[in-house]
Structure 1
Amino acid sequence: MVAVLALGACAAWRWNAIRVADAQAVAAERLRVEALEQRMDALRRDQRAQTARLQQAEATNRLLREELIGLGQRAALLDETVQKLADPATDAGQSLRLDEVELLLAQGQQRLLLSGDLDGARRAYALAAQLLDGIVDHARLDLRQALAQERAALDALGEDPGVAAARRLDAFAAALPALPQRSAPAAGEAAWWDRLLSRLVQVRPSGEAQALAPDERVAGLAALQLELALARAAIERRDVQAWRAALARADEWVLRLWPESAGRAARRGDLRALQAHPLSPQVPALGSTLGQLRRLRQA
């Protein structure tokens, strides 16, 4: 019995010792884990601090690099200025003449494109050629040749397309009153009762929807004149879309105001031809001399 109690006491002591040792091991592991976590936190803080310092150093380097680039550009500009001052061929008088040539070429181009002033454009280009001939520089030979070709293209132009379009539009408007207001009856085809009833009843195709009433006709003629005025305004602005739209609406009024006839077909053909008529002169070489001069001055 004593041996059994001793054996039980020994087993209880051993189990207690094992439990205490396990608890101590768990506590030690917990302490090690906490220490590792503290070291990890410290490493993260150090990493964030290093990242901030690297970003600050990168920003400083970028600023220094931009300052160095700016210093290099300023030095290049100073070098170029010194070279220009040392070059006797690029004096102030020549630069002023080139400025005048560029201004005249730009004015001639804008006169032709915006207002269709062909004579003004020719005068501006002639003055530019005189100024360019006064510059003694063999490097400007290609520029003189380009200007001569552009002047030849301007001289080869005929009448201003806008003026021609306005004249043809006036001729169209002048020919409208001569159109017959009623369809011509076919001779020998209508019976006597048709001719008698035609004085009381008039039959016309419903698709044309002609304005035969006096008030409608007066309003239609006023609307047609308004469309022709809008077409003339489009010529002044060189607005091709507004020009074609006004002529298309005028064609609709021609259909409503006059019956079918050879004259009406001719006037509608005139309108279609006017819609295809250009409003601005077509000069493929226009602006080539100005572009070449600007490239030479930039180079």
Structure 2
Amino acid sequence: MSSAEKAAETITELENYDLRILNSIEIGMIQHEMVPFEEVLKYSRLNETELEWRLRKLNELELVYRQSEPYLGFMMNYTAYDLLALNALVKSENLEALGPSIGLGKEADVYQAITPENKVVAVKFHRLGRTSFRDTRRKREYIADRKHMSWLYQSRLAAENEYEALKIVHEGGVASPEPYSQNRHCIVMQIIEGIQLSEVIELDYPNDYLLDILENARKALKTGIIHSDLSEYNILITEEGKIWLIDWPQYIRLDHPNSGEILERDIGNIVYFFQRKHMVETTFDEAWELVVEGTILESS
């Protein structure tokens, strides 16, 4: 059972005081890897006896980890963080129920879900730090300069970044999922039923698909946004042949000092993929001109 599924199952076993304790540990983890018992006591405003009892309960439910040395401390895991996010989204009437998994990756898990209006949506849980903290810092500059940042905070920032990017590019006409709401490391968005471009064996008229992708990159650039991680793994194709650009947490803005270099990498990734796998003849220079036309990068 995944952490999100366990969270959805466990949420009914918790009382408001249990949620308050998890919130207290969440606050403490901004500064600590293991939050001292005294800080949990301070933030939760419970008496010591009740706090100890409820922490044992949360530990038995496998929502928090406990250490005894060098001090008594506690840390929540992804199941607990998923639970807090799901609880908030249900209370705000953005979600009704979590459904099956539709995609598990190194840095995010995606599930189908239902809203109170019975609308099917996608719920994306960012999970930074599940592989390598060092690699995450190297790739994502919005956390690179921070001395201490828990996986919890990294994941929340990734979700906030992607939610912001999706709002901008979707409004700009880019074929990207419409974002509906965000809480902590979790985004509720439009569900897209398609397969990764990397998994498509053969395309009819592949150059048309390439031009469509480049046109969407151009639309994003018009909004001042560069994907920054564009590749065949972040593009979906539906049965009808429509392309969708997904996974935007690493986006940068056009005024970024390295925007030209990063856009070159994005365009190069896509062009070289189509040249290698689908034998298209469009060159990098042709693709570059198509994307940057009418922007400050046109003359660069």
TM-score computed with the length of structure 2 as normaliser: 0.16
Which of the pair has more CA radius of gyration? 1
| Greater helix content | 1
Larger relative strand fraction:
2
Q: Which has the higher contact order (CA 8 A, sep 6+)?
A: 1
